[in-house]
Amino acid sequence: MSTIGFLGLGRMGAPMAANLLAHVDTLLVHDLSQDAVDGLVAKGAEAAGSVAALGERCDIVFMSLPTPPIVRPAAKEIVSRGRPRILVDLSTSGPALAQELHDLLSPLGVASFDAPVSGGIRGAEQGTLAIMAGGPEALWPEVEPLLQRIGKPFYMGETPGAGQVMKLANNLLSLAAIATTAEAMTLGIKAGLDPARMIEVLNAGTGINSATRDKWPRAVLPRTFDFGFSAQLSLKDTRLALDEARAMGVPLPTGERLASLLDRTLATYGDDADFTEMAKVVEEDAGIDPQR
C-alpha cells in the first residue's frame, strides 16, 4: 500500500496533487487553507491534519511551496515526529537549499529529491509540466512513476540541487524571452504596426519563443496581464539564479538586468503584479501609454 503526502495546495500544488490521486492508494494532503484541503478531500484525498502527520504516515512526501523560507521549516516539521523514506521538493527553492535539505535529511535516513517544475498552472492542470529532478539514482525508479503523473520528469543527476540549477537556467531563458519580446513589440508598436499581426508573423518566423507563443496571445495582447505567475516569484527565482551564479563565478549580466526590470514592475504595479506586466514598463519607457 502506497501512502503519499502532499504539502502545499496552491495554484500549482492543488492540480499536481489531484493528478496523483488515481495512482496511489492513499493521498494525504495539507495546506494552510482549509478550503484548499477540502477541495482535494472532495476528490478523494485524505486530510493529514498537520505537517508533522505527513511524515508520520507517508512513505513519500511532496512539497509545493512558494519560497525557501517556507520550504526549510516545512521540511523540518515533516521529519519532526516521523520519517518518510523520501521527501520531494517540487518548489523552486534553489540549489543551496537543496544541499541544505540533503544534509538535514540524510543522517535521518530520509532521501531527498529536488524536482522543480515548469509549465505554469495550465501545465499543472493538464499534467504536462517539465520536471527537473536531482537525487539518489537508486531511488529514482520509485519517484519517477509518480512524477510522470504530473508531467514529464528529467533526471539531472545525483548531486543535490541538480534539478534546481536546471530550473533556474530555464527560468532565465523564459524571463529573457518576455523582456526581449516586450522590447521588439514596443519597437513595432511605436512604428505603427499592429501588435496582433506582429505576433502572428513572429510565430511564423525565427522570432518565435515562449513569450510570443503563449504569453502575448493569452495575457498581453488582450491587456489582461493575468498569465498566472507573479512578478514577485519571478524575481525570487532570478535572485536565486544570481546567487548561485556568483557562488560559481559565472557572470549573469542579462540576469541582473532582468532583476532590475522586475523590481521596476513591482514598484510600478504592486506586489500582485503578473510577470507579463514587465511589458508595460518597457512600453512606458518608450512613451507608449501602458493603459491603452
- pLDDT of residue 18 exceeding 80: yes
230 beta partners: 274
In this prediction, what percent of the chain has a pLDDT beyond 90? Answer: 96
Q: How many Cα atoms occupy the beta-carbon half-sphere of 260 within 13 Å?
A: 7
Is the confidence at residue 269, as pLDDT, over 80?
yes
Phi-psi region of 24 (alpha: psi -120 to 50; beta: other; left: phi over 0): beta
pLDDT band at 291 (very low <50, low <70, confident <90, very high): confident
- Sequence-ordered list of residues with C-beta below 8 angstroms from that of 64, at least 6 positions apart, any chain: 6, 7, 8, 9, 10, 12, 13, 16, 17, 90, 91
User: By C-alpha distance, which of 155, 169, 280, 157 is closest to 219?
Assistant: 280
Cα dist. 243→16, 141, 160, 181, 185 in Å?
29, 32, 16, 26, 31
Does residue 100 register a pLDDT over 80?
A: yes
Q: What is the pLDDT of residue 2?
A: 84
- Decide if pLDDT at 83 tops 90: no
Look up residue 40 and give its three cell numbers.
Answer: 482535494
Clarify whether 167 is annotated catalytic.
yes
Task: List % helix, strand, coil for the chain (3-state, nearest 5).
Answer: 55, 15, 30
- The whole-number average pLDDT for the span 134-155 is 97
3-state secondary structure of 100: helix
Region 152-178: what's the mean pLDDT?
Answer: 97
| Residue indicated by cell numbers 515562449 | 210
Distance between CA 256 and CA 253 in Å, rounded?
5
* Cβ contacts of 291 within 8 Å, gap of 6 or more: none
Predicted local distance difference test score (pLDDT) of residue 292: 81
pLDDT, mean of residues 95-110: 96
Which whole number is the average pLDDT over 132-160?
Answer: 97
> Where do the domains of the chain lie?
3-159, 165-285
Mean pLDDT (whole number) for 13-36: 96
User: Is the model's pLDDT at 268 over the cut of 70?
Assistant: yes
pLDDT at 1 over 70: no
Give 112's strand partners.
87
Q: What is the pLDDT of residue 279?
A: 98
CATH class of the domain at 165-285: mainly alpha
pLDDT at 271: 96
Please count the CA atoms within 13 angstroms of the CA of 97 that sit on its side-chain side: 25
The continuous run of DSSP H or E covering 6 comes out as: strand 3-7
Q: Which CATH class is domain 3-159?
A: alpha beta
* Average pLDDT of the segment spanning 232-251: 96
Catalytic residue (one of 167, 215, 236, 280): 167
CA dihedral of 255, 272, 19, 155, whole degrees rounded to 10: 10
Average confidence (pLDDT) over 49-65: 96
Q: How far apart are CA 146 and CA 142, in angstroms?
A: 8
Give the mean model confidence (pLDDT) for residues 254-271. Answer: 98
pLDDT for the residue numbered 35: 97
Mean pLDDT of 82-87: 93
